[in-house]
Structure 1
């Protein structure tokens, strides 16, 4: 199970790099244009992904996360957002690598949300599955926005990552 999530952590970082590389060529106006995604723009969606990953990693580590709402703009500047994303992706990889197999199989996390104060307890494996599934969900929205804005978007399929990782090994 640990190898499964470690692979997803590395895939996550790879896919985010490709997404940010594609977005880097957009003007600030296009990054912020409302394209009908749940968080409106590419900028808003990329911030949402960063915000939620910070929150989930705090929960996984058993520490109090920032009091951000899900639409919080953590970084208004794209270069700052990209640097924060790269650092967070490295932290996610290191955090997953630091877990023991037994933590993943039998561990639980407990947290309260900013919007609702009730205590939530869930298996760690479920939280990890959500972390990476959530990323994929919103990266799909980013892919749609890039396609709409530029006519093209990078390949983000897990199988493409796995083939590249295997070839590099």
Structure 2
């Protein structure tokens, strides 16, 4: 599989996994979503809010635009229904963006500034792969927090995505 096909598949996987997680979270009471938890972000919603903010930052880098953030975190996350909609929108942007990139564009180096002000440079493909990997990491945090609350997270593994989205034979 070419890099282009991999990146396109992974952006779709990311959107699928986020949709599955948010679907489950949407069935839970607010007390579960906003309860203080032993995590760097304090709550389930704040963890997902961080992942969303980071997506917005990388989208701006890919577009060559300022992102306006001075931190990778917000003081508090928005209500889950707002975050779910906003995450779905940015997930679709990444899918659409990946679909427009040529093989050559994946290797193009983009220069940007990290939130801390340091200079950065990455290929477009590496930036897209980072956004997928970053959210996989934080969905894992949320899955662990759900287990700690006595709940079972949805299955969000890549092989399940590939099985469930494979074209019919």
What TM-score does the superposition give when structure 1 sets the normalisation length?
0.91
The answer for the alignment partner of 2:96 in structure 1 is 94
Flag the 1:12–1:96 CA change in 2: closer, same or farther, 3 A: same
Gaps of 5+ in 2: none
| Kept after mapping to 2: 8 A contact 1:56/1:131 | yes
> 1: distance between equivalents of 2:22 and 2:75?
16
The answer for the alignment partner of 2:125 in structure 1 is 125
Flag the 1:38–1:111 CA change in 2: closer, same or farther, 3 A: same
> 2: distance between equivalents of 1:68 and 1:76?
18
> 1: distance between equivalents of 2:89 and 2:82?
11
> Cα distance, 1:56 vs. partner?
0.7
| Kept after mapping to 2: 8 A contact 1:51/1:74 | no
The answer for the alignment partner of 1:134 in structure 2 is 134
The answer for the alignment partner of 1:78 in structure 2 is 80
> Cα distance, 1:107 vs. partner?
0.4
- Give deviations 1:104-150, integer Å, cap 9, x for gaps: 0x20111112322x322222222222111111111101111122224
The answer for the alignment partner of 1:155 in structure 2 is 155
Please, which moves more after superposition, 124-133 or 81-90?
124-133
Matched, 1:111 2:112: yes
> Cα distance, 1:74 vs. partner?
7.6
> Cα distance, 1:167 vs. partner?
4.6
The answer for the alignment partner of 2:47 in structure 1 is 45
What TM-score does the superposition give when structure 2 sets the normalisation length?
0.91
The answer for the alignment partner of 1:30 in structure 2 is 32
- Give deviations 1:1-38, integer Å, cap 9, x for gaps: 11101000100010001100111122222111122122
SS at match of 1:88: helix
SS at match of 1:110: strand
| Kept after mapping to 2: 8 A contact 1:51/1:68 | no
Runs of 4+ in 1 over 3 A off after TM superposition: none
> 1: distance between equivalents of 2:5 and 2:51?
23
Matched, 1:165 2:165: yes
Root-mean-square deviation over aligned CA pairs: 1.7
> Cα distance, 1:73 vs. partner?
5.3
The answer for the alignment partner of 1:8 in structure 2 is 10
